[in-house]
Structure 1
């Protein structure tokens, strides 16, 4: 049983949850105003249900991606060893896993807020659809970023039951960051994508220009972070976080010496986790230092 759970965890690359989860938790913290005045049982229920939505939505999307790309992965030496093309897992098992996680995602959302429940199924279908974007548009990287970026907006709605500009800003920050990272990740498959007629920024523009586009996507993300800080008067903690993000992105894009793709992707994996955690810290500290969610309206 444990081995089966570990297999599914590896199928969906569970460790990559660290990219979006801190954004969602930071958004939840702000939306709940630091949980001021809330009972412990109420806090526990909210946190567990939001975590449940995050995990099940991602499980569904990642496993559907593996299912949709099974034939493509089989033709790519880098991905031929994945569960489905290698025969380590059946399509029936993956379909069951997708359906199970989708049902849990919708159920958890309904238990949080009426609006969250009403949006759950359309959002779930949108999350699944990202798997097909590479078949017709090189904008697929930013659509993936948008799909992941919905997590802080979803966490906000789960707490407050309404839309707001604040989490939408967070959504676009995460979209630009993840879009740029996905372009860098896709440089590994530049040639095979081109051969198979798949659309990606590296396949369309070549590796050198792709890395430049990724850089400018991250510059745009940092510009939004600066705007975010000014618009909502986020204080010194946010500016410290932004400065660290600028330093990390500047180093990785402009000053890292190695041209090895494996090392580059490992560096950006670590940077992904660092940026997400830094954003969460900035949001949490802002509320702890007296920031008030009610002042955002």
Structure 2
């Protein structure tokens, strides 16, 4: 049980707040309200299993790199709190739970479930060969609303891909910002990232551009899904959070990075989820 608690700490289970609300958003849109309890339950199980497996695998794959980075050297595997083998066991269990949940939802979910799995595994290695690793992470989270849509409807829809694309640009943008603190280490280790190649200031400009694109796509989904004023209000609030997020991060001062990354991003995903829900049920 102690190792399981360590695993949960290692994967930052509380950061599920980035992915789960967007899965719920896709779920609410697909059902035009609230689907059955069983569907909600298995979507939650699928998201928790997928995210736990993906994050756990990333920690396993990066264990040696994390041990050499002063910022990450105190993570659970480098610090010896949990071994690679122990963490790997929980990763296997997590992905097994994910595939089982996909099977319980519907045949198309099970048929498509290897696609997110491959993206999750691929992401952990992308920074070894491409600066587009931020885009791959965005795709990994952008799948959440698409998967939830499939879970409810058993089909695919162009509009839900737009929502997934908006999430992709949102996640990619804030991951570029977060990677700015590791520029020196990435250069020393030969790791790939956009901040390493563009520099701090240009990377922050690119992150802003990504978030503008994300906001515009979110705005378009309001029209595409024929939603109301409540959803629009949520998108505008989200835009406000994005603006504030970038206002507190400057090339010469990254001291408020954790607030911008963790707190505000959680507010963004929760805002869109809640306003989607209330728009559809009221």
Is 1:231 the equivalent of 2:224?
yes
Superposed CA deviations along residues 137-165 of structure 1, whole A, max 9, x for unmatched, are: 11111110111110110011111111111
**CA contact 1:258–1:264 (8 Å) conserved in 2:** no
Consecutive unaligned residues of structure 2, counting only runs of 5 or more, are none
**Hey, what's the Cα distance between the residues in 2 that align with 1:125 and 1:111?**
20
> TM-score if structure 2 supplies the norm length?
0.95
**CA contact 1:184–1:214 (8 Å) conserved in 2:** yes
Match of 1:201 among 173, 194, 200: 194
- The aligned runs of 1:4-15 (5 Å cut-off) are 4-15=3-14
Is 1:149 the equivalent of 2:142?
yes
Look up the match of 2:30: 31
**Hey, what's the Cα distance between the residues in 2 that align with 1:56 and 1:25?**
15
Look up the match of 2:65: 72
Look up the match of 1:16: 15
Look up the match of 1:294: none
| Largest Rg, 1 or 2 | 1
**CA contact 1:135–1:199 (8 Å) conserved in 2:** yes
Is 1:100 the equivalent of 2:99?
no
Structure 1 residue 273 displacement after superposition: 0.8
User: Deviation above 6 Å: which 4+ runs of structure 1?
Assistant: 255-258
- The aligned runs of 1:17-166 (5 Å cut-off) are 17-35=16-34, 43-166=36-159
Q: Secondary structure at the match of 1:34?
A: coil
**Hey, what's the Cα distance between the residues in 1 that align with 2:232 and 2:143?**
24
**Hey, what's the Cα distance between the residues in 2 that align with 1:232 and 1:87?**
49
Superposed CA deviations along residues 213-246 of structure 1, whole A, max 9, x for unmatched, are: 1111101101112222233332211221122122
Look up the match of 2:168: 175
Provide closer, same or farther for how the CA distance between residues 15 and 240 of structure 1 changes in structure 2, counting only shifts above 3 A. Answer: same
Structure 1 residue 99 displacement after superposition: 0.9
**CA contact 2:201–2:251 (8 Å) conserved in 1:** no
Is 1:248 the equivalent of 2:247?
no
Superposed CA deviations along residues 115-172 of structure 1, whole A, max 9, x for unmatched, are: 1011223321221211111111111111101111101100111111111112211111
**Hey, what's the Cα distance between the residues in 2 that align with 1:111 and 1:245?**
33
Structure 1 residue 257 displacement after superposition: 7.8
Superposed CA deviations along residues 156-208 of structure 1, whole A, max 9, x for unmatched, are: 11111111112211111111111011111111111000111111011111111
**CA contact 1:27–1:283 (8 Å) conserved in 2:** no
**CA contact 2:106–2:154 (8 Å) conserved in 1:** yes
**Hey, what's the Cα distance between the residues in 2 that align with 1:217 and 1:258?**
17
> TM-score if structure 1 supplies the norm length?
0.90
**Hey, what's the Cα distance between the residues in 2 that align with 1:89 and 1:145?**
28
Paired residues, number: 282
- The aligned runs of 1:277-296 (5 Å cut-off) are 277-289=270-282
**Hey, what's the Cα distance between the residues in 1 that align with 2:234 and 2:280?**
14
**CA contact 2:3–2:82 (8 Å) conserved in 1:** no
